[in-house]
Amino acid sequence: MAAAESSRVVALWLPDWPVQAAHLASVTSQANPLSPIAIVGDSGVAACSPSARRAGVRRGQSRRHAEALCPELEVVEESAARDAAEFESVLQRLEAVAAGVEALRPGLAVVAARGVMRYYGGQDVALEKLLDAAAVPGVDCSLGLADDIVTAILAARRGVLVAPGEDEGKRFRQGISLVELRAESALEMPAELAKSWQELGLCTLGDVAALPKRDIANRFGAQGARWHDLACRGEVRLVAPRSLPPGLAASYQSWESPLRRVDEASFVARFLAGQLHEQLFSHGYSCYRLAVVAQFSDGSEVRRVWRCTEPLAEQTTADRVRWQLDGWLNNRNRQQPRGNSGTVTGVVDGAEENDGDDSRGIVELQLEPLDVVAAGTVKQDLWHGSDDARAKARRAAERVQGLLGPEAVQQPVMQGGRGPGERVGFVAFGENPKNTKTAEINQPWPGAVLAPNPAIIPATANAEVEVLDADGHTVGVTGRATMTAEPSLVRHGVTTYRVSSWAGPWPIDERWWVPDEARRAARIQIRAVANDGTIAAWLLIGHAGAWRIEGAYA
């Protein structure tokens, strides 16, 4: 029982919290808490009261639709700040009775069960204390208990206590529908993934868990594999407190002898990295996100935040700090760092620099961990194993970065875009690929190439082809998006292919409102066979009769 208790998680869920927060903040005109109320944001209804739901109001509906269904509905503008501010008092009361409280979103928090149960001498008393602490007059509160965070959240939404043991947790999760998963925003279940699974007849996590993980990963990628793992084993991480222990930051001050040379800064970087990781180790943490803050002798301050896909090791931390200081001290980007009111937060590209004044140096340097997890609880992604070959490749890449800078080694990432070339971007090796473009990958892209995407994007220099009709004339696309003739031959280099099938064209008319960036073209799909029997399947893009291979289907 002790082993099971060490990983138990309590989840506390206050339903319809945005509505309750609006009542608590006195922004509603109706004093009756049972009145129909809807919280409306840019995307429509974000939350609604039970009485509004009984009238047919649902999340995602437009304001006009909701008011048509419920004429007496009171509409309140969505405010994330209000939700968080009203939930803060709940968190403070929880922290007064339990250590290790993690806020997942306003209205939902999780608590590590081991400490609170030991302190109060048993499960029943501890859960009663937590419910009392989370209680808000006139607001429901539901509690769930399980062996991991995801299962505890789902249990709280049903108001059940899941018995200890992996089999018990799996049995409970298998009965959870995909609709329930999508209803909880903290779980971040991708809408497209849930829709695809439902169209395939997968209605519950049990249906997903019954399929081989390899098949799920091949068809739905990393997100599908992650949710298959969650269905089978739950979330493999511990509850992280919302506030870090004091004293985790490592700092260096040298007001009399400012750091002006890179070799001096490198020594300080290694020293601070060692100091920081000693403190992290003593608290049992691993760091994912690190802020590097430097203050110069003229009073200016610069700040850079590094976010990584894997926990930072001591040597990795030292290297990243050294790269950053190298950029700041050697004026790599020829920019002067802004003062305290203009600090910069971001990834390595666009680092802030000094103005080349040798009299100015760094007088204070601080490393501040911003995002930590319990050490040893990090689970590698599907394609990020830690075998010897991958570890050697990582060390080699980091060695090159140490010699030539972080941008010297790039790794491809998927991002938003219409064409296959636009959907692949590059970031510095080791950096978290989550940026503006990658965040847009699941957004709608009207006119995007339909799946499956081409597996190969050839070099532009080798991609030019000629598309000819049966008489040997060049085939083009008219202004009405029709082919001038039926493609019959494709000439690629010295090889001529005979077209066996084709599809399209699909017109491209992008950024027409910006004359210098406007582009008009068309895409077609071609399947062709050479004289020696070689089969080629290409996505071609053309303009004014000139065609090139945009992608090749493997």
| Residue that the structure tokens 């993690």 belong to | 102
Which domains are delineated in the chain?
1-243 (3.30.70.270), 250-374 (3.30.1490.100), 380-446 (no CATH), 460-552 (no CATH)
Residues 6+ apart with CB under 8 A from 309: 381, 384, 430, 431, 432, 433
| Residue that the structure tokens 């970031």 belong to | 427
- 8 A C-beta contact, residue 213 and residue 225: yes
Query: In the 8-state DSSP scheme, what is residue 28?
Result: -
Please state, in angstroms and as integers, the Cα–Cα distance from residue 544 to each residue in 295, 422, 457, 510, 548, following that order.
Answer: 56, 21, 22, 16, 12
- 8 A C-beta contact, residue 457 and residue 426: no
- 8 A C-beta contact, residue 324 and residue 266: no
Instruction: Using a cut of 0.75, tell me whether the model's pTM lies above it.
Output: no
Residues 6+ apart with CB under 8 A from 324: 292, 294, 304, 306, 348, 351
For residue 59, give both structure tokens: 């999340």
Please state, in angstroms and as integers, the Cα–Cα distance from residue 178 to each residue in 147, 149, 194, 360, following that order.
Answer: 21, 17, 6, 58
Per-residue pLDDT in tens (0 to 9) along the chain, 554 residues: 444 455 789 999 999 999 999 988 888 876 676 789 999 988 889 999 999 999 999 988 999 999 999 999 999 999 888 888 888 889 889 988 987 788 888 899 999 888 889 889 889 999 999 999 999 888 889 999 999 889 999 999 999 999 998 889 889 998 999 998 988 888 888 888 899 999 989 999 999 999 998 888 888 887 888 899 888 887 766 676 556 667 778 888 877 788 777 777 778 888 888 888 888 887 777 787 778 888 888 778 877 777 665 677 777 778 777 777 776 776 533 444 444 333 333 333 333 333 444 456 788 888 888 777 666 555 444 334 445 556 667 777 777 777 777 778 888 887 777 777 777 778 887 776 655 455 566 666 777 777 777 878 776 656 889 999 998 899 988 888 888 899 999 998 889 999 999 988 888 887 778 888 778 888 899 999 998 888 899 999 888 778 988 888 86
* Identity of residue 193: L
